Amino acid sequence: MPFAVTGGFGFIGSNFIRFIAKEGSIQIKNVDKLTYGSNRNNLQVLNDDTRYCFIKGDIANEKTARALVNGTDAIVNFAAETHVDRSISDPKSFVSTNILGVYSILEAMRKARKEIRFIQVGTDEEYGDIADGSFKEKDRLCPSSPYAASKAAASMLIHAYHRTYGLKTLITRCTNNFGPYQFPEKLVPKAIIRATLEMKVPVYGTGKNIRDDIRRGSLRSD
């Protein structure tokens, strides 16, 4: 089964590719823009694997989107700008990748006239803040940052393309992740690195906020 994975050199994307590569029959196409959060070394173990190929490209580019869809049965979209603080200082790049990038993929799928499964890796931040308890899947989306708003907008586009054109789509909205190959601007690796170097560890807000985290991949980096 041919898989296309976007943002495959990133933290979660590379862990996902390493996981599905354990299945011998899967062909894997990795499409990555190679931005600051990408690291080729994350998938160095697959350099000589004939089932794996890499395409450098921006998913917001129509030509890249067509190459992504061509010869593919399923697309898993990890490609995204994800850092909340960066979205506050520079929202434009989040709109380009997180919204227009998804639009380009959906359009390529629609024009291909072929049944392709599309899995969008969203975020629980699309729901916004909650004072008590937890959100349910069908709760109202009420994003609090440009990053979350861009992911919520992508969700609405995907829902519309599913309803209007019958595209096979699935959206996940997972909580925060940590694990091997994570970019060090994120909280857990940043705290570990700074503590190891005997530097001050940053505290967000008053330090009383609670966040859930899910570990991705093995703790071994082999």
- CATH code for the domain of 21: 3.40.50.720
pTM, whole model, 2 decimals? 0.82
Residue 119 three-state SS: strand
Which one of the listed residues 58, 124, 161, 181 is annotated catalytic?
A: 124
User: Do residues 74 and 1 touch, judged by C-beta distance below 8 A?
Assistant: yes
Question: What are the backbone dihedrals phi and psi of residue 30, each rounded to the nearest 5 degrees, phi first?
Answer: -105, 115
Catalytic residue among 125, 126, 127, 161: 125
Tokens standing for residue 33: 């823009």
Residue 48 known to be catalytic: no
Question: Which residues does 56 contact at the CB level (< 8 Å), separation at least 6?
Answer: 31, 32, 33, 34
Q: Is 147 a catalytic residue?
A: yes
Q: Which domain holds residue 97?
A: 2-183
Query: Do the domain assignments include residue 58?
Result: yes
Residue 175 lies in a domain: yes
Q: Which among 32, 126, 127, 147 is annotated as catalytic?
A: 147
> Which tokens in the block code for residue 86?
């960066």
* Distance, CA of 141 to CA of 135 (rounded, Å): 10
Q: Is there a domain that residue 190 lies in?
A: no
Q: Which residues pair with 29 in a beta bridge?
A: 4, 53
E strands, the chain, in order: 2-6, 27-32, 52-56, 74-77, 117-121, 168-172, 176-178, 213-215
SS3 of residue 99 by DSSP: helix
- pLDDT tens across the length of the chain (222 residues): 799 999 999 888 898 999 899 877 889 999 999 988 888 988 999 999 999 999 999 999 999 999 999 999 999 999 988 778 788 888 999 999 999 999 999 999 999 988 999 999 999 899 988 877 888 888 999 999 999 999 999 999 999 999 999 999 999 998 777 777 776 666 676 777 777 888 888 777 777 666 666 655 543 433
10 within some domain: yes
Query: What's the structural domain count of the chain?
Result: 1
> In Å, what is the CA distance from 160 to each residue of 35, 108, 207?
29, 15, 39
Q: Report if residue 205 sits inside a domain.
A: no
Q: Give domain status of residue 42, yes or no.
A: yes
